[in-house]
Amino acid sequence: MPEDTSRVQASPSISAGGAAVVHEDTTAKWFLISSIAYFFIVGIIAVTIAAKFVWPQLLGTVQYLTYGRLRPLHVNGMLFGWLLAADMGLAFYLIPRLCGVKLWSEKLGVATAALWNVIVLGAVVMLLMGYNQGLEYAELPTWEDVLVVIAWIMFGLNIFMTIASRKYDQMYVSIWYIMGTILWTAFVYLTGNFAVLFATGVNQANLNWMYVHNAVGLIFTPIGLALAYYYIPKASNSPLHSHKLSMIGFWSLAFVYVWTGAHHMLHGPISQWLQTISIAFSVMLLIPVWAVVYNFFATMQGQWHQLRENVPLKFLMSGVVFYLLTCFQGPMHSLRTVNAIVSKTDWIPGHAHMAVLGAFSFFAIAGTYYTVPRMFKCKLFSDTLANWSFWFLMVGGLGFFVTLWLGGFWQGWQWNNVSIPFIDTVKALQPVWLVRFFSGILMFTGIVSFAYNILATIVGAKDNPEAA
Amino acid sequence: MDYMYPSVFLAYFMFFVLTLLTLVWLIMSRKQGFWGKNSEEPKYRMMRDDDEGNYNG
């Protein structure tokens, strides 16, 4: 891929100093390989449940393959098996480099990766067996939650100790975001998986939605942005537009995000003042989002031509656009009038998939495409296949998002008309679900292309060394 | 024994602690020069930190 080096050479020269550091990257490799395997496996589950919407009799009445068992497996598998694991793997890659030191403990890192795999495989078994706490995003049984906490402490300890031994005083913004992710996840996860068990009724629902929204906003958003802040300058070979602006984005996210969860309960039986606070903070989210997105667009000034050839950059900048769109949708959904139409409809999975797949998974895929050849010191197996994987995921993703927005809006209008029987609103959505299924096939083809390309790169690394 | 309200208050207390830590960090970041004239330094340094041959420096 062509790289324009002019902007880097024109930048002030900062001497890093010190001796060369050789990074082992064993932990990053383990996390990335396992996450890609789960991306593929859970992709099959995703297509299966999309097919069940169109053909409800599919797979009969086998209890392990019913929608109620497969849907939480899809959600947890994609969130924790694929995305968070990939994000952690990439964090293990970039933190030592940004700090100018080796990872504090590769042994602890590999143990974390092993424990994470135990958790994910345990979740597959438990969820298929029907052990489910019945709370959105917090379906895993308590013993699994305890293991997640232990694994997160191991991850956090390794990252923080590496940062503590860093060579430079000032930390690049990605380090801030990853530190934030580690601390925020601890609070968010404990609230959503433990505190929530001792509450009932409306209070439990309120805590649960605070967890669900902050799982996206304070776990996947900051670690996703950490990756984007690292890989956009790296892949485009252009320094970030403004580090100061990135700090404003970070701190405004830290202040604003935590209060938005209650917007999932608008028009519900919670206090009006709590609903209004959640609306106000949701709209304020536009501040960090614009700070982030403007920074990325300004970084790309004069570099857009690279999108023709540079596959990681294609994923990254498409992810930025999806991030902008999803974060514009979010505050708008939180307005009472809009919420009355779209809440609980198919619009919401369209919105959620644009965030988790369109934005954050695109960042993780871009990071993987950029990182794996460098870690294994080889060329990517196929640039052409990488380009195809982008287009499969892009076209499939757009088909999925747009169809569900239109269908969800239509569904919301129908639900607001009491003269339409509910079953008629279900039947009316069948064409929408058919398009969603075929979009899912396209997205799964993209996942297969990506997974095969990366695994072929790793397997053939010795036969395909990078040119000196 | 009803644990509902203690658990809700615990959750809000945790978020209060989170806000407090955020403020502490924000003040620390100012003291460490993240908002001063050298605040743009990390973005240039990160371009040179790794990659070709896994080298720093």
Name which of A24, A243, A260 to mutate to probe chain B: the one with the most chain B Cβ atoms within 10 A of its Cβ: A243
pLDDT for residue A4 is more than 70:
no
The Cα–Cα gap between A226 and B52 comes to 21
A200/chain B closest Cα distance in angstroms: 6
Query: ipTM exceeding 0.90?
Result: no
Mean pLDDT of A169-179: 92
Nearest residue in chain B measured CA to CA from A255:
B19
pLDDT for residue A322 is more than 50:
yes
Rounded to the nearest 5°, which phi and psi values hold at A235?
A: -70, -35
pLDDT for residue A467 is more than 60:
no
The Cα–Cα gap between A169 and A163 comes to 10
* pTM assigned to the model: 0.91
Q: Token pair 């939180």 is at which residue? A: A334
Interface membership of B36 toward A (CB under 8 Å): no
pLDDT for residue A296 is more than 80:
yes
Nearest residue in chain A measured CA to CA from B27:
A251
Nearest residue in chain A measured CA to CA from B32:
A170
pLDDT digits (tens, 9 = 90+) for A96-154: 999 999 999 999 999 999 999 999 999 999 999 999 999 989 999 999 999 999 999 99
Mean pLDDT of A258-279: 87
A401/chain B closest Cα distance in angstroms: 33
Q: How far apart are the first and last CA of chain A?
A: 16
Would you say residue A155 lies in a domain?
yes
Domain hosting residue A57, numbered range: 28-459
Both structure tokens of A421: 């029987």
Both structure tokens of A78: 């994609």
Would you say residue A7 lies in a domain?
no
Residue A228's pLDDT band (boundaries 50, 70, 90)? very high
| Angle, vertex CA A90, rays to CA A454 and CA A82, nearest 5 | 65
Interface membership of B33 toward A (CB under 8 Å): yes
pLDDT for residue A464 is more than 70:
yes
The Cα–Cα gap between A296 and A316 comes to 10
B43/chain A closest Cα distance in angstroms: 6
pLDDT of res. B37: 75
CA distances from B55 to A24, A163, A387, B48 (A): 12, 18, 29, 9
Would you say residue A22 lies in a domain?
no
- Give B-chain residues touching A22 at CB under 8 angstroms: 54
pLDDT of res. B3: 64
> Which one, of A215, A70, A102, A226, lies nearest residue A148 by Cα?
A215
pLDDT digits (tens, 9 = 90+) for A395-449: 999 999 999 999 999 999 999 999 999 999 999 999 999 999 999 999 999 999 9
Would you say residue A368 lies in a domain?
yes
Helix or strand holding residue A179 (H, E): helix A173-193
Backbone CA torsion sign across A49, A53, A58, A61: positive
- Give A-chain residues touching B51 at CB under 8 angstroms: 234, 374
**Domain containing residue A294: CATH number:** 1.20.210.10
Rounded to the nearest 5°, which phi and psi values hold at A310?
A: -90, 100
Domain count, chain A: 1
Q: Which of A184, A199, A242 sits opposite B7 (nearest CB)?
A: A199
Mean pLDDT of B27-46: 81
In this structure, the number of other CB atoms found within 10 A of the CB of residue A68 comes to: 10
Q: Is A252 in contact with A330 (CB distance < 8 Å)?
A: no
Cβ burial of A434 (10 Å; 0-12, 13-18, 19+) is middle
Residue B9's pLDDT band (boundaries 50, 70, 90)? confident
Residue B19's pLDDT band (boundaries 50, 70, 90)? confident
Would you say residue A11 lies in a domain?
no
Would you say residue A35 lies in a domain?
yes
User: Hey, are the CB atoms on A21 and B45 less than 8 Å from each other?
Assistant: no
Half-sphere exposure of A184 (CA within 13 A, CB side): 29
Would you say residue A303 lies in a domain?
yes
Single-letter amino acid code for the residue at A382: S
pLDDT of res. A16: 46
Would you say residue A65 lies in a domain?
yes
Interface membership of A147 toward B (CB under 8 Å): no
Q: How far apart are the first and last CA of chain B?
A: 61
pLDDT for residue B35 is more than 90:
no
The Cα–Cα gap between A47 and A445 comes to 11
